[in-house]
Amino acid sequence: MRYVSNPSGGLLLAGLLAMATTAQAQAPLDSLGGLTGQLGRHARQMPREELFLHLDRPLYLSGETMWFKVYATGGAEVRPQALSSVAYVEVLDAARRPVLRSKVALREATGQGTFLLPSSLHSGRYTVRAYTRWMQNFGPEAFFHGTVTIVNTFAASGAVPAPDSAALEARFFPEGGELVRGLRSKVAFQITDKRGRGIAATGTVLDDQGAAVATFSTRRGGMGSFELTPAATGSAAYSAVISRPSKPGQPRPPAFTSRLPAVRDQGYVLHVAPAASPGQLTLSVQATPGQPQTVLLLAHARQRAALAQPLRLQNGRAELTINQRELPDGVSRFTLFSEARQPLAERLFFQRPRRSLTFTARPDQPNYSLRSKVRLDVAATNAAGPASLSVAVYRLDSLNAAPVPAIDQYLGLTSELRGSVDNPGYYFAATGPEAEAATDELLLVQGWSRFKWADVLRPAGGPAAFQPELYGPVVQARLTRAGTDEARPNLTTYLSSPSRVVRLYADQSDANGLVAFKPGNLYGPQTVMLQTDPRQDSTARITLLDPYSEQFAALPAARALDLATRLQPAYARRHLQAQVQTVFAGRKYDRYRVMPTDSIPFYGRPDASYRLDTYTRFKVMEEVMREYVPGVIVRIRNDGFHLLTVDNLNKSIFQENPLVLLDGVPVFNVNKIMALNPLKIQQLDVVNSRYFQGETAYEGLVSLRTYKGNLEGFQLDPRVLIQEYEGLQEQREFYAPRYDTPEQQRSRRPDLRELLYWNPAVTVAGPGAAPQTLDFFTGDQPGRYLIEVQGLDATGAAGSSRTVLEVQPVL
């Protein structure tokens, strides 16, 4: 007997348990009425996964290639994590419509890919997002989001008109979550225009009688804060009158009014502030009269509890001082619970990473001439074991001034917050009271949890809606009754793609009519065919499901693209460079790596294999089967031809048709197979034993392969669903010219590259190891070039570095 194994179920469970072992072992003992235990259980059942994309540069022209590397991490330490094997990467326009999509293979927690930006794209700022199927369980806010600029230099201006930004919006965020009568609160705010850009402004908070109770002014990114104590009795409705400063020579913009959140009559306020002693934090809790005086405080970060403390309020107040060193690096959440384990308030705190990955990227000389060789020594001075890096070298000018996202800043801060963070590096480097206040306001404005406490506290349920793709893309489809949306369960369904490499996948539909196929490393565009087993049903409707997420995070609109007159020479120069490179480089920039393929058919080594060209060729398939294939018996019955394979194990003949394949596609009508022109068939394989695939058994197998592997015009049953499917992205090879010889140096072929070097697969060892030496050549453009290195070591320490080299013209 032959079996096709399906190991994914057991390995999935083992993998999830293994990933959670560290978090479970290091979590504090179960306390706070089981809160920490339930948080640990949630971490084991729904382990965190995160992606980061290192983009090769911040600005592109339509028609250029975007290069990127994917880093996959997870767990409380943000270590490299190989949970998923597929990353979904998309480029979204300003209306959050995908304009480019691709599936990227993840191997050892990294992947690499490209997008060729079509010339039809409008100029503007685009969002690049990336996620896995498992990450879809946590909502689109958990996806990686980055912003790039694309300029279409073929259009007159290339720009899409920006929305009107005259109207402003003000949002207010009381600490802990709510304003409560009689309890003093810190209220953060952010004032933005319609594009989500922070605006400088001042304001006055008024009660419902028009009396001023607080004033405020913005700090960074339109954010700021003020203190407010809502009235303990009477009316407690508040609004803010906000004014913008006037520009020189222009009238002052009109003020506008915005209401503050409603005030609750009863509740709690949680306040977090630096203590008098350095390195200490003071947490204070206030409650209105009549509220329960025992509360539970849980400090946690990345699904791991760091502090669990019951608090007893005295006269509605309690205070606790903790050492910041007890908290992990990055963003921690202080959540206040009632004794019934209901969340009451939440506050965020950011601790700058105490350890980051430090790189050195040293070119062998400070200045270079045109077309000269650069030797770059890259090392990670404090890596704990091997570190995976990516390196980009691109020209700095007025268009490429904005930095690309940095992996350490993203994993340490940005990924924990709801929206985009303007200049996240400020919150890592700046010190002093002003920086501490700006950081606190950012956390209040952007604070967001990747999970809901209701999900954590509810009893364990069924499997997650989206399962991780452990061994490549999972192709899903749904079976319904024809003409209705009624699910069709328990139907054997097949997925195949005509090819000389014979592959066939089978699954049985579940109660919701869903089937899932695991074709493994399926690269590039494919024509897939889905059909049911006609012995069970041949009328079900099959719908191939789109694997991409149709949920989008409510991100602020990107800033308008600056197409000012002063930048027109830079755009014209970039346009000329791109056209010259396209003309003179030819197909050198369009080379792909040969991806590994398994040429062994899915059924393994057949019992017999016949290459028909070694025999006298007959013109009728029946003669071929009778004369050359003794392991298959041809019978003619009332309904036509039947093929009966010999059962070698039991020394008998099976009485039912075997599984018959043509170029890997099941064909259940034997009469059509027998009507084939045998001159189109190159090879015929036979399995002379009972064959099992999933839950379906067949009395042998007969596989026919044509010369081209494309069915040779064979007409399939009209009920077979034939659809184009995009597999994993094939890997484009980065090309850069070399000038090793005098002849190459003297070449008249222009070299106007903006991107001199891109390498997403650099590995360096830890301290004391020899640096990794990379080499590339400068081109024909003088100027300053940025060497950007980003990476992650095995412990989860992330880092990035930026070094500038000079390319000088020949005098």
pLDDT in tens, 619-638: 999 999 999 999 999 999 99
Alpha-carbon distance of 630 to 650, in angstroms, equals 16
Residue 299: CB partners within 8 Å, gap ≥ 6?
A: 305, 306, 307, 308, 322, 326, 327, 332, 333, 334, 335
Is there a shared CATH topology between the 359-398+732-808 domain and the 608-726 domain? no
The number of CA neighbours under 13 Å toward the Cβ of 644 is 10
Residue 252: CB partners within 8 Å, gap ≥ 6?
A: 243, 244, 245, 246
Alpha-carbon distance of 293 to 279, in angstroms, equals 29
Alpha-carbon distance of 244 to 202, in angstroms, equals 7
256 touches 242 (CB < 8 A): yes
DSSP 3-state of 226: strand
Cα angle at 98 between 97 and 102, to 5 degrees? 170
Q: pLDDT at position 559, please? A: 64
Q: pLDDT at position 454, please? A: 85
Starting from the edge strand earliest in sequence, which strands make up the sheet with 608-611, in order? Answer: 608-611, 681-693, 696-706, 659-662, 665-666
- In the block, tokens 């077309």 appear at 371
Q: pLDDT at position 167, please? A: 75
Cα angle at 741 between 739 and 747, to 5 degrees? 60
Q: pLDDT at position 2, please? A: 43
**Does 278-351 carry CATH code 2.60.40.10?**
yes
Q: Parallel, antiparallel, or unpaired: how do β-strands 86-92 and 124-131 relate?
A: antiparallel
- In the block, tokens 């592959």 appear at 503
381 touches 359 (CB < 8 A): yes
Alpha-carbon distance of 268 to 180, in angstroms, equals 7
CATH topology of domain 608-726: Ferric Hydroxamate Uptake Protein; Chain A, domain 1 (2.170.130)
* Segments of 84-175 assigned E as strands: 86-92, 98-105, 110-116, 124-131, 144-151, 168-174
Alpha-carbon distance of 644 to 698, in angstroms, equals 11
Q: pLDDT at position 572, please? A: 79
Positions of the chain with pLDDT lower than 70, given as ranges: 1-31, 155-166, 556-566, 581-590, 596, 811
Cα angle at 428 between 446 and 408, to 5 degrees? 85
Q: pLDDT at position 20, please? A: 37
Q: Where are the domains of the chain?
A: 168-264, 278-351, 359-398+732-808, 469-544, 608-726
Report in angstroms the alpha-carbon separations of 484 from 530, 548, 571, 673. 19, 24, 54, 33
User: Of 11, 19, 80, whose CA–CA distance to 47 is shortest?
Assistant: 19
CATH topology of domain 168-264: Immunoglobulin-like (2.60.40)
Q: Which two tokens stand for residue 741?
A: 């010889």
Q: Parallel, antiparallel, or unpaired: how do β-strands 798-808 and 367-369 relate?
A: parallel
- In the block, tokens 């070039």 appear at 785
Q: pLDDT at position 558, please? A: 62
Go through the chain and tell me how many residues it has: 811
Domain covering 359-398+732-808 in this structure, CATH number: 2.60.40.2550
Count CB atoms within 10 A of the CB of residue 739: 18
Count CB atoms within 10 A of the CB of residue 137: 17
φ, ψ (nearest 5 deg) of residue 23: -60, -40
- The DSSP code for 328 is P
